[in-house]
Structure 1
Amino acid sequence: MKKVLIGILLAALLLTIPTAVQRVQIEESNKTIETIVPYQSAIGWMIEDPNLTVDEILKDFKETGIQSVSLEPDTVSSLERKRLITTVSASRMHENILLTQKEPLEAPFDKPGLFIHSTGLFDFEKVTKGLFEEQFEFSLDGTDYLFVPGDSAAIQSTPIAYDREVIAAVLDSGLSIVPRLRAYSDEKQLDQMINELIAIKQPGVEKVLFIGDKVPAFSDPVRLKEFGEQLKTAGYTLLSIEFALQDGLNQLAYMTDLNLVRLHSLGVTDENMSESSDKIVRAAKERNFRAFFLNMSQKEYEQALPALTELQKQVDNTLPASFKRGVAKTFEPYSVPLWQTALALLGAVAFLTLAAQSVFKNKKLTYIAFFGSLLFAVLYLVVQQSILLKTFALAVAITAPIWAVLVKKEPQKKAYLLKSFAQAVGIAAIGIWLIVILLSGNQYILGIDLFRGVSLVYIVPIAFILIYAVWGNIKNLLTMNVVYWHIAVGVFVAGIAFYYYTRTGNAGQVSNFELQARLLLEQILYVRPRTKEFLIGFPLFILALHVAKSYPKAYYFLLIPGVIGFLSMVNTFTHLHIPLLISLLRSGYSIVLGFLIGLVLIWLYEKVWKKVVTIIKMRWQT
């Protein structure tokens, strides 16, 4: 049975090569990045300096390497900021009338509301016709107003329209427009602004960026579907903001055939220029981000323009030559034929069965693993629900590092260390390959669909190896005498555990020293290897292999931190939005450096540790 399973596994690996190659080709063919600056920043700069013009700012944007300008719909408030209208609240109008001893206002002007006067540059009444439930003409001392009853704050925030003049100016300057839209609770406002969004679609207006944590119509499935169809028909590309979980965005993404670009939004200050540049380069290079939204914090244009210029210069100096500036596009459609998925499932069945056979050495458990995983694979092929595929991938991701460190050891053979390490890495690599094939497609590259169970991959293998190590040594552990070196080892392992805990996840703590070391490694190696792999897991696994020659039972305890390297390597590839070649390069560095550092640990163990333990024993005995 073992030979048959190995044959099935090898066949699955070879026949699924086209899927991995296709993913690499798609990722490597899309390396155009786009930077976006909000037009709201320009409004603020022009208010601070009335001599500034839109054309001047747009020309400077173009020269600094900006590709696009985001534009929000004008509101009553923003129109007033742009000096296109003036507003007077109902209470202030009443005060003015009393002070000038005019006749008190009568219905309908005696209600709370807002009096709006248009300048000669903007016809508010014409643009907003039908927008408000009620609006009345009013004149005072020769000045015409439009009175809108209601809450003043709500009226001020009412969306009106996208500024067509600004759109024309931006497009004429050679830049693109990225309209922004929020989820309006008022259905009338929502419909109007969606119609506005569709109406301004033209060459140069290609993407839409949503405001807030919800997309328009997110709570109404029927309206959301209609909105998705409108976006698809118009040809809009969606922008997905990192860490901004916008309700309804995933549904819209699927409705628009995954026509989506990943966007990273970051604040730009004079103090964080280098940090912002590093973030942009790293996000483009390592995480498939193709659009970057620059929130300029400088209030005056004299400070903002040099900051923007310097940021763009730093990015260009460190961005790999394979990348270029331009209008970002989504990745080419990429999906896996069902027969390729079926092969990967068959390979995963063989992988899980062989792992159970190798680790447990129990026929009953081996058969349970085989028939259980086979039944699960058939179930997926029948119902084709992605949750089943993800569960299968999770099982492989948890199993791979466990099997890798528990692979059969033969210390008496030549090149034992190298062969055992290569065998363990090979097992982990096979598990990684199966995961990559099982979870393939644009939805994973774009981060719309994610691998679930990262925490389990971090925890279960360590817990399993801990139980495995203790299980066969429980009696000895309970009866043994504790000596100083035991305490030293305990403190050392506890330190590793604490470091591992603080470094796990997106919120992990990183010291300034480690940040600097990371930057240095990136500059030298293009992409840095993971610390948990090349400094902790792999070196300690190499040391464990060496210790196994003399202490065949005790070495299992070194496998507990040693498994960290393999689970971290597997976890690297479960971040499916990271380019596959980047993950391969990063893991390659970790494997080589981890092996070399492991050899250094062996030297320290032989030349230093043994002598120190001998000295302590002699002094303790005397």
Structure 2
Amino acid sequence: MIKKNKIFLIIVLSIAILATTIFQRMTIESNNKVVDVVLDYAEMNELALQSDNELKWWFSNFKDFGIKYVGLHEETLSSLVHDNKDVNIIMGWELLQNNTTKETYLSNLENDSKEYEISKYDVLITTESEETFNFINDGLTSRYDKELFEVLSNEDKYTILLKGTIYDMVYLQNQSLSDVNGKGVPIDPIKQNPYTSKLVNLGLGFDAEKIELIKASGLEVLPRPSNYSQWTTDKYIDALFKDYEDFNMIPPVFIFTGDAMLGYPDYNHIVSEYMQNNNIKVGLIESSVQRGHMDQKVVEDLAKGLEYNAVRIFSIPNYIQERFKFYNYEGAEEIENTLYRAVTERNIRLIYFKPFKESTRSYVTDFEEYEKMFNRFEERIAAHDMTIGRSSVMKPNRVRIAKQTLIGWGVVAAGILLLSTLFNMSKKIKYALLAIGMLLVPAAYIVKPLLMEKMMALAASIIFPSLAMAWVCKECKKHFNSNEKKYSLLNTIIIASKDLIIATAISLLGGFFVGGILSNTDFLLEMDIFRGVKISQMLPIVIYGATYIAYFGYKNKKQVKNRPSLKLEDIKTLLFEDVKIIYVLLSAILLVVGYIYIARTGHETNIQPSTFEMIARNILEENLLARPRTKEFLMGFPALMVAIYFARNKYNFFAFSAGLVAVIGQSSITNTFSHLRTPVYLSLARTAYALGLGIVLGAIYIIIIEICLKGLNKGLNLLMTGAEKGRN
């Protein structure tokens, strides 16, 4: 199939350039091995309240795990209420609709004429504590413009009015009403009162007592601003940074709160300059589906502006906290597995840690469980040369257009090789196509470089698995045309293993092309992602079907000789085939299987692995450097060996059917490398493990099929012998 011609030489040249690109990426990945763990103050405080130990005790003991920082949010009206401070918060609409409420909270005011100034969008704050009033008033005065608030009383019953707008309001969604008969009654959205106001989450400054407690525990404060962008001005930012300086708590990384970076939209430059001067990293918080990051406006632009001084963050969600004694484990093993996968497979370099939970509100208060988890976690990541400390960052990387062009030529050349297995093309046509492709690639990179690199990666993810299956078709054809009628089982297994290794090597090359083309820092930090995963899984199946027909024909009694080529008569026969009921049933089954296969590909799927499968995955993950992909070692790779077995035994239909499953395994290889946040060595190890296990299982499958076929043949012979005796 592949001869030493100009096309092949271009592929070799492209591979040489690709090797330098992959080596450069692996060097960058190998220097990014330090993981930070930051404790969440609020949740650790809840843990302490439910335990027999004080918060300081918990902080001091967690320090022994190599943890250095505690994440502390600015105080807000909401947090003050949660901390049982003497604060009352009343919504404006409550005051306007309830005279009793109005009398209760406004009776102390000297000037009742101010009542008309209160709108339904305002928030009224009252307290009888001078200390609490001073904290709130100082926070508002130092951080926000005077238009936001007004002090209505500064003695006895202290009262402050926050002047809100419709854009500050928060409403409950998906509410429903029903009458006595259970019939739904619509809610008038105009008459619906707000549930609360965003103003209750305005940052007011940091609690000095909390800061002192953290530092007395031997830990440092990682301050987190509230960042309500509508009211964030240079005044707020100056006050915030002054707090950082006064409390000596300049953070190593900014973990932004809300839907935008601090300072958005008018004061980004102030924050960027401060971060640059203090070597502060940008925190990129991984999304809940573990794909990309939380949608925070211009945060990724900030990371690029700071030359990718950024770190990916895994903030432990509630459902992970509750995976204590999950999957039949005795403790926090599944939580540990989640953290392990995050740092080894997804380039997470900061874990925002929240303690384990036995239920939605009940925390695990046995310190030994945390000690065991962190000790195991540290031991497991050490196998990857990773340590706990101040998070490392990736050195910026960008593949130049010249390199991308040379690598792209290899993809074009491989595409022409694939076309030559489908169509009988002369050398002139092949070389003409090659010349056109070699001219178009650099031109496209100059015009649309970002789009072009994604297109080339997608092309590689389709072409190379398809080439691998073309190799399988070629080998199957060779076995069908062989005059040897019987092969030894051992020889068949050896030949099938060899063909699997060669096919896997071709697909693996495609994986390297994907990983090399998309090795820019944007992809490694998942600020950009590989597009077309489902296409790259489905198209090779279609191409395989066409390739098989090109080699064997479709219900064509004439043997396909010479070069493989799609014939018009085969296509017409296929298109005008009489559809039998059995075909419809088989197609329905294939559609269901195909849907499950595609639906389980990616991160936003609703089809999750079974508990048994997850336990099996965890066992492999705990005992190997990388967990091999199930669809490779359990299905795709053994199926390829089975296809060769059927071909050697002249079972055309079964060879083709096994090949359909084999395509899944080959496509999965390039898909593994399209997870660009995963280091190259891990993807390579995953494929190697899958190949080894696949060969073993493939041999077992072949032996089982051989035994079954022999038993079936023996049974049929006995039936025929019995029938013959009966006739006699």
* RMSD between aligned residues: 4.0
Give the aligned partner of residue 544 of structure 1: 643
- Whether 1:208 and 2:271 are equivalent positions in the alignment is no
Higher alpha-carbon deviation: 341-350 or 411-420: 411-420
- Counterpart secondary structure, 2:112: coil
Q: Which of 112, 118, 129 in structure 1 is aligned with 2:141?
A: 129
Q: Deviations over 1:327-354 (max 9, x none)?
A: 2121223333444323212222222222
Q: Which of 184, 196, 200 in structure 1 is aligned with 2:228?
A: 184
CA contact (8 A) 2:152 2:161 kept: no
TM superposition score normalised by structure 2 = 0.74
Give the aligned partner of residue 505 of structure 1: 602
- Whether 1:330 and 2:399 are equivalent positions in the alignment is no
Cα gap change, 1:229 to 1:173, in 2 (>3 Å): same
Name the aligned partner's letter for residue 618 of structure 2. Answer: L
1:249-288 aligned at under 5 Å gives the runs 249-266=299-316, 267=318, 268-269=321-322, 270-272=324-326, 273-288=332-347
In structure 1, stretches of 5+ residues that fail to align are none
Give the aligned partner of residue 675 of structure 2: 575
Give the aligned partner of residue 351 of structure 1: 414
Q: Cα offset for 1:420? A: 3.0
Cα gap change, 1:600 to 1:83, in 2 (>3 Å): closer
- Whether 1:114 and 2:163 are equivalent positions in the alignment is no
CA contact (8 A) 1:198 1:234 kept: no
Cα gap change, 1:185 to 1:16, in 2 (>3 Å): closer
- Whether 1:75 and 2:124 are equivalent positions in the alignment is no
Higher alpha-carbon deviation: 222-231 or 381-390: 222-231
- Whether 1:395 and 2:395 are equivalent positions in the alignment is no
Give the aligned partner of residue 236 of structure 1: 280
- Counterpart secondary structure, 2:5: helix
Give the aligned partner of residue 192 of structure 2: none
Q: Cα offset for 1:36? A: 1.9
Cα gap change, 1:606 to 1:375, in 2 (>3 Å): same
Identity %: 23
Question: Equivalents in 1 of 2:695, 2:588: separation in Å?
Answer: 24
Question: Equivalents in 1 of 2:580, 2:718: separation in Å?
Answer: 16
Q: Deviations over 1:411-450 (max 9, x none)?
A: 3599643443333223212222222221112222211121
Give the aligned partner of residue 312 of structure 1: 374
Name the aligned partner's letter for residue 393 of structure 1. Answer: A
Name the aligned partner's letter for residue 388 of structure 1. Answer: M
- Counterpart secondary structure, 1:388: helix
- Whether 1:420 and 2:499 are equivalent positions in the alignment is yes
Question: Equivalents in 2 of 1:8, 1:361: separation in Å?
Answer: 21
Name the aligned partner's letter for residue 593 of structure 1. Answer: L
Question: Equivalents in 2 of 1:11, 1:34: separation in Å?
Answer: 41
Matched pairs, number: 615
In structure 2, stretches of 5+ residues that fail to align are 119-123, 165-195, 288-292, 327-331, 485-490, 558-573, 724-728
Question: Equivalents in 2 of 1:538, 1:99: separation in Å?
Answer: 73
Give the aligned partner of residue 145 of structure 1: 158
Give the aligned partner of residue 629 of structure 2: 530
- Whether 1:588 and 2:669 are equivalent positions in the alignment is no
- Counterpart secondary structure, 1:296: coil
Give the aligned partner of residue 562 of structure 2: none
TM superposition score normalised by structure 1 = 0.85
Q: Cα offset for 1:567? A: 0.3
Q: Cα offset for 1:462? A: 1.2
1:450-465 aligned at under 5 Å gives the runs 450-465=529-544
Question: Equivalents in 2 of 1:226, 1:377: separation in Å?
Answer: 41
Q: Cα offset for 1:380? A: 3.5
1:376-395 aligned at under 5 Å gives the runs 376-383=440-447, 385-395=449-459
Question: Equivalents in 1 of 2:8, 2:429: separation in Å?
Answer: 18
Cα gap change, 1:583 to 1:260, in 2 (>3 Å): same
Higher alpha-carbon deviation: 175-184 or 535-544: 175-184
Question: Equivalents in 2 of 1:154, 1:403: separation in Å?
Answer: 57
CA contact (8 A) 1:183 1:190 kept: no
- Counterpart secondary structure, 1:541: helix
Question: Equivalents in 2 of 1:213, 1:490: separation in Å?
Answer: 46
Higher alpha-carbon deviation: 433-442 or 293-302: 293-302
Q: Which of 365, 369, 375 in structure 2 is aligned with 1:303?
A: 365
Question: Equivalents in 2 of 1:620, 1:489: separation in Å?
Answer: 30
Question: Equivalents in 2 of 1:192, 1:198: separation in Å?
Answer: 10
Question: Equivalents in 2 of 1:601, 1:159: separation in Å?
Answer: 64
Question: Equivalents in 2 of 1:571, 1:370: separation in Å?
Answer: 26
Name the aligned partner's letter for residue 175 of structure 1. Answer: L
Cα gap change, 1:106 to 1:374, in 2 (>3 Å): same
CA contact (8 A) 1:182 1:214 kept: no
Higher alpha-carbon deviation: 259-268 or 84-93: 84-93
Cα gap change, 1:139 to 1:175, in 2 (>3 Å): closer
Q: Cα offset for 1:305? A: 4.6
